[in-house]
């Protein structure tokens, strides 16, 4: 039986938008800057949801406490900011989902661990059929996902009880946060799933092969 979903909340990278091309370009530019060969896009894509630390660890084989790690991370983030939405687009079919939410007057929002200084310019530049009513970034609250606080703030701002919200994400922390907030959860299998991930073990309420699968839940 389909639950009473009155609100949809989306993770950003790997769920709402395909940000991997721009983040991969930023990592390869950083590798080149520090005298390292580029990585294949297919190797970078699954790591994108985990942010700059994971990307630098992948590209340079370094740990966050290694000398030079932070310098490389800051370089990557600056390159990314300077090219924030060159190739980033909504995932195929997501525009229809957002348009349907708009037409049905179903509130929707973004809850991401991406900091606001990256989230805000990306959301401003990203081509979308309609605009979201709320954006919660990684530094909006005291806690980030997998803590439920950001999701609970989003539901509060959208005046919708958590139990009537659906949170969609492509990482285990997304499903953990949604469950902890008392929300319905959906795993975006089209997102940045790593080879070692076992998304079926995350026990989301729904598994989405493509964004259009959300249309059946409205």
Catalytic residues: 11
Q: What phi and psi, each to the nearest 5 degrees, are found at residue 45?
A: -50, -50
Task: Tell me how long the chain is.
Answer: 218
Q: How far apart are alpha carbons 171 and 81 in whole angstroms?
A: 23
- Give 178-218 as a DSSP string: HHHTT-EEEEETTS---TT--GGGG--SEEESSGGGGGGG-
CA dihedral 17, 188, 30, 61 (to 10 degrees): 170
């Amino acid at each position: 039986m389909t639950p009473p979903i009155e609100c949809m909340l989306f993770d950003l990278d790997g769920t709402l938008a395909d940000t991997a091309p721009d983040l991969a370009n930023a990592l390869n530019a950083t590798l080149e800057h520090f005298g390292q060969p580029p990585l294949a896009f297919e190797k970078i894509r699954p790591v994108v949801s985990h942010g700059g630390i994971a990307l630098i660890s992948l590209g340079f084989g370094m740990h966050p406490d290694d000398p030079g790690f932070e310098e490389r991370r800051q370089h990557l983030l600056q390159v990314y900011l300077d090219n924030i939405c060159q190739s980033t687009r909504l995932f195929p079919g997501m525009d229809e989902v957002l348009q349907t939410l708009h037409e049905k007057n179903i509130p929707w929002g973004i809850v991401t661990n991406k900091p606001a200084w990256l989230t805000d310019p990306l959301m401003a530049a990203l081509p979308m059929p309609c605009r979201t009513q709320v954006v919660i970034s990684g530094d909006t609250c005291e806690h980030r996902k997998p803590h439920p606080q950001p999701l609970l703030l989003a539901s509060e701002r959208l005046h919708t009880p958590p139990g009537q919200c659906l949170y969609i994400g492509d990482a285990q922390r997304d499903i953990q946060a949604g469950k902890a907030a008392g929300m319905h959860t959906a795993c975006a299998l089209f997102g940045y799933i790593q080879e070692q991930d076992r998304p079926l073990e995350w026990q989301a309420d729904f598994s989405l092969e493509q964004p259009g699968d959300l249309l059946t839940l409205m």
